[in-house]
Amino acid sequence: MATQTSPAPSPKPQPQPTDGELARRAADGEHRAFAELVARHQPRLLALCRRITRDDHDAHDALQNALLAAWQRMGSYENRSSVGTWLSRVAINSSLDELRRRGRRPAPAPELPLPVTPTASDDPMTTRVALLWAMDQLPPHTRDTVLLRDHYGLSYQEIAEHHHTSTDAVRARLARGRRALAGLLDSPRRRGPARPLPESPAPCDHGR
């Protein structure tokens, strides 16, 4: 009687390399490793660029620049944060650079929740100018936190990763920024209306 042979065991699937392993290989110049990182993170990075630029064409430009910058800087990646976090920071910076490069200053006035209630006499342009002025008075980190949260819609975690801090620090900074904006925007109301500029004296008529 012929003996039956057992089927050969199927080969075990090779474990997928971690992001950290791919980053190390990409830092050594391995294009295939970097391509795998891009395939894993590109959809999320593109969505992040879209949320900041609010323009599909600009978002793709920002993403391409971010990926180029990431490839060039892979050697500077340190394992203090995840690869995804590091790539997100590169994408955020690239998106903001894209806005500046296009010569379009981010305009928070239409989307930022106003800390004070406009009066009936406030027109949209006055409100917009006042808010832009107030934003410029904030410290840079506070201003960036308010913009990234209230204008661009980033999560507390994304902002924390971008600024290398905790979500509690982001919430505290955001609260301080909103309070400061409320004070800056409300101060002209407490002082009353601005005094009108004096009229220029009428020119003398020497002919009379």
For the record, the structure tokens of 159 come out as: 């902002």
Overall pTM surpassing 0.85 (yes/no): no
Contact between 49 and 67 (Cβ < 8 Å): no
Tell me which CATH code domain 19-101 carries: 1.10.1740.10
Structure tokens at 80: 């203090």
Q: Where are the domains of the chain?
A: 19-101, 124-191
pLDDT in tens, the chain (208 residues): 555 566 656 666 678 899 999 999 999 999 999 999 999 999 999 998 988 888 899 999 999 999 999 999 998 888 777 899 899 889 988 988 888 887 654 444 344 554 544 444 455 656 667 777 888 888 888 888 888 888 777 888 888 888 888 999 999 999 999 898 888 887 654 443 333 333 334 444 444 4
Are 173 and 145 in contact by the 8 Å Cβ rule? The answer is: yes
Task: Give the number of other CB atoms < 10 A from CB of residue 176.
Answer: 15
Question: Thinking of the domain 124-191, which architecture would CATH place it in?
Answer: Orthogonal Bundle (1.10)
Which residues neighbour 135 within 8 Å (Cβ) at sequence distance 6 or greater? 108, 143, 146, 147, 181
DSSP 116: S
Q: Token pair of 108, please?
A: 């928070």
**How would you class 127 by CB atoms within 10 Å of its CB: exposed for 0-12, middle for 13-18, buried for 19 or more?**
middle
Tokens 């500046």 sit on residue = 100
**Is there a shared CATH topology between the 19-101 domain and the 124-191 domain?**
no
